[in-house]
Structure 1
Amino acid sequence: MGEIMSQVKSRRFRAKRLSQLGSSIFSEVAAWKREAAANGIDIIDLGIGSPDQPPDAAIRQSLANAALREDMYAYPATSSGLPFREAAAEWMNYRFGVQVDPAAEIVTLMGSQDGLAHLAMAVCDPGDAAFVPDPGYPIYAASLALAGVESIFLPLREDNNFLPDLDAIPENEWNRASFILLNYPNNPLSAVANLDFFEKLIAKARKHDVLVVHDLAYSEMGFDGVLPPSILQVPGAIEQAVEFHSLSKSFNMAGCRIGFLAGNRDAVAALRELKGNIDYGVFDPVQEAGITALRAAMSNDREAYLPAASAIYERRRDVFVRALREAGWEVEAPKATMFVWAKLPKLMGNDGEVWGSRTISQEMLRATGVVVIPGEAFGAEGEGYVRIALVENEDRLLEAAARIGVFIRSSNVVGY
């Protein structure tokens, strides 16, 4: 009897909310990749957006020097993150012309995903509602599930340049929302937004007393001379908005986790208070490396500023998109980020069924070894697309495009 009860009880050691944390497709893709590798296929992994370049030597040296110091191994002396926050505030002023108070309007984070995962818990109560984009980065909706907050999905579609139609949102939904979360440049869509859009967004949010949460993790990855703006550049936005920044992609620091949230001091204070009950702050050597990275970026003439990351990914974009088009797949060239959001051709299987993005991604991997993420991983509006990460060198990207071209030409294409 005791054994039976033990078996029954063991089934309860998993919270139901875990099923709401994200798409199972990511684990499925990992399984497909293992299967292909086991079959001897050379894998070109363009799935996860993890930078393939190291941080600059000065950043690595700063991290190493600090890590060798004997006084760095207690709880972080800078658990409040003030020295890093001061550097972040200087960078915000340098990069965007935005002034923020480092003591009250910035909180240091273990990467922006850390803050994104916890913000809803800090500013909402269970039963509240918030807007999130569809397609959207999985942590957006997952963070609401953890906090017991309802997701109101905003469709982002090609016919509106992947921007939400703010005027189409019903008044009753504006009135019940605690915040609206968007990200431009966008992951996975690579779309960009300008200050005119942000001004309209701030005005709508102010009218309905909704906090605007903007994820600007790809601020340094604009192409063709475009420098993505901060929503805090809108006059008065700091009273209505907060913005996440990350050093992971811009400075190739994805493994040493650091980022920050800037903006409305009440929301910033709420997240800092919650985080103060969860962890002791970012490891001091990582903060030192972050300060070095931001100060190096500020050493350039602001008027001639060109982020180093953008140049690398712009070249990769040009090479890869051109090769895909030559191989027979007409894809849109992204305006920013490290991703290509590619509309799929309609392919039909031997059973006469048109394949969805999941099936195409799986069959492409089996046939070519090229890993991409099916669009449905990011929400219902992502069906019919795949996200391709530009995280290999140009030679490997050319090889990937050639393999994909062979796959498409050998498939039963029934339309676009």
Structure 2
Amino acid sequence: DFAADTNTLIVYDNAYSEFFFDDYVTPSFLETNMNHVEIHSASKTFNMTGYRCGWVVGNAEIIAGLRKIKSQIDSGCPTFIQRAVMKGLELYDGQRRPDKVRENMAIYQERRDIMMKGLDELGWEVTMPKATFYIWVKSPEKDSMAFAEKMINAGVVGTPGVGFGATGEGYLRFAMTQPAERIKEAVDRLESLK
């Protein structure tokens, strides 16, 4: 309502559109009658972080304006990367979530489950995330930066929530980008901080 009332354009960064677990499905502006755009990325879905290739969908007039701006900012994504992304997109072939993507997400779900179970068993206050490969949890200590330093000394890296702004203080963010065995090891190391 706010966007419509104020003629505000919403650009939805939906880079994690395929990163959802259990019965949850990430929302999309394409499911509404809103006149906005959303941006998608190959970096998360196809494990192509650093290749800097994505796409925008939604309102054609807005996309035409973005295209003009983009043509003046850089020379575009290399063709070989675009071809690799096209191969990934061809997997969809009318499916909401192709088997290859589903298999990849199952790996991240296993990692999430290991970390969440481990933190819960350590007595941390946890809420199971529905999407993305990040876990956002309440820090066992109020000062997230100080606790993050303790974790580093124990050989575990987590991002202090205060790095995301004042309201993030007291929280930590973990990325589930390591193999399951390393995540189990991280939980074991966190136990030493009790």
**TM-score calculated relative to the size of structure 2:** 0.91
Partner residue in 2 for 1:234 = 32
> Which runs of no fewer than 5 residues in structure 1 stay unpaired?
1-202, 347-354, 410-416
SS at match of 1:388: strand
> Which runs of no fewer than 5 residues in structure 2 stay unpaired?
none
In the alignment, residue 392 of structure 1 is paired with which amino acid? Q
In the alignment, residue 319 of structure 1 is paired with which amino acid? I
Rounded to whole Å, the distance in 1 between the matches of 2:9 and 2:94 is 34
Task: Give 2:16's match in structure 1, choosing from 218, 225, 231.
Answer: 218
Task: Give 2:81's match in structure 1, choosing from 286, 298, 319.
Answer: 286
Q: Does residue 309 of structure 1 match 2:107?
A: no
Task: Give 1:379's match in structure 2, choosing from 148, 165, 172.
Answer: 165
Task: Give 2:140's match in structure 1, choosing from 307, 320, 345.
Answer: 345
Q: Is the 8 A contact 1:246 1:258 kept in 2?
A: yes
**Which consecutive segments of 4 or more residues in structure 1 shift more than 6 A?**
303-306
Give the 3 Å change call, closer, same or farther, for CA 307–227 of structure 1 in structure 2: farther
Rounded to whole Å, the distance in 1 between the matches of 2:156 and 2:125 is 18
Rounded to whole Å, the distance in 2 between the matches of 1:300 and 1:211 is 29
What is the CA deviation profile of residues 59-114 of structure 1, one whole-angstrom value per residue up to 9, with x for unaligned ones? xxxxxxxxxxxxxxxxxxxxxxxxxxxxxxxxxxxxxxxxxxxxxxxxxxxxxxxx
SS at match of 2:177: coil
Partner residue in 2 for 1:403 = 189
Q: Does residue 361 of structure 1 match 2:159?
A: no
Q: Which moved more, 1:383-392 or 1:255-264?
A: 255-264
Give the 3 Å change call, closer, same or farther, for CA 300–331 of structure 1 in structure 2: same
In the alignment, residue 365 of structure 1 is paired with which amino acid? I
Give the 3 Å change call, closer, same or farther, for CA 398–288 of structure 1 in structure 2: same
Task: Give 1:273's match in structure 2, choosing from 68, 77, 85.
Answer: 68
Give the 3 Å change call, closer, same or farther, for CA 376–289 of structure 1 in structure 2: same
CA drift at 1:264: 2.4
CA drift at 1:254: 0.8
SS at match of 1:340: strand
SS at match of 1:252: coil
CA drift at 1:261: 1.7
* 1:102-141 equivalence runs, <5 A: none
Rounded to whole Å, the distance in 1 between the matches of 2:134 and 2:148 is 16
Give the 3 Å change call, closer, same or farther, for CA 208–300 of structure 1 in structure 2: closer
* 1:28-107 equivalence runs, <5 A: none
Partner residue in 2 for 1:105 = none
Rounded to whole Å, the distance in 2 between the matches of 1:267 and 1:376 is 35
Query: What is the RMSD of the two structures over their aligned residues, measured on CA atoms?
Result: 1.9
Q: Is the 8 A contact 1:243 1:262 kept in 2?
A: yes
Rounded to whole Å, the distance in 2 between the matches of 1:394 and 1:284 is 34
Rounded to whole Å, the distance in 1 between the matches of 2:38 and 2:105 is 20
In the alignment, residue 361 of structure 1 is paired with which amino acid? A
Rounded to whole Å, the distance in 2 between the matches of 1:303 and 1:397 is 26
What is the CA deviation profile of residues 357-401 of structure 1, one whole-angstrom value per residue up to 9, with x for unaligned ones? 1111012211x1101111111111111101100011111101101
What is the CA deviation profile of residues 3-60 of structure 1, one whole-angstrom value per residue up to 9, with x for unaligned ones? xxxxxxxxxxxxxxxxxxxxxxxxxxxxxxxxxxxxxxxxxxxxxxxxxxxxxxxxxx
CA drift at 1:259: 0.4
SS at match of 1:386: strand
Rounded to whole Å, the distance in 2 between the matches of 1:274 and 1:255 is 22
Q: Report % sequence identity.
A: 40
Q: Is the 8 A contact 2:124 2:138 kept in 1?
A: no
Q: Is the 8 A contact 1:251 1:293 kept in 2?
A: yes
Partner residue in 2 for 1:322 = 117
**TM-score calculated relative to the size of structure 1:** 0.44
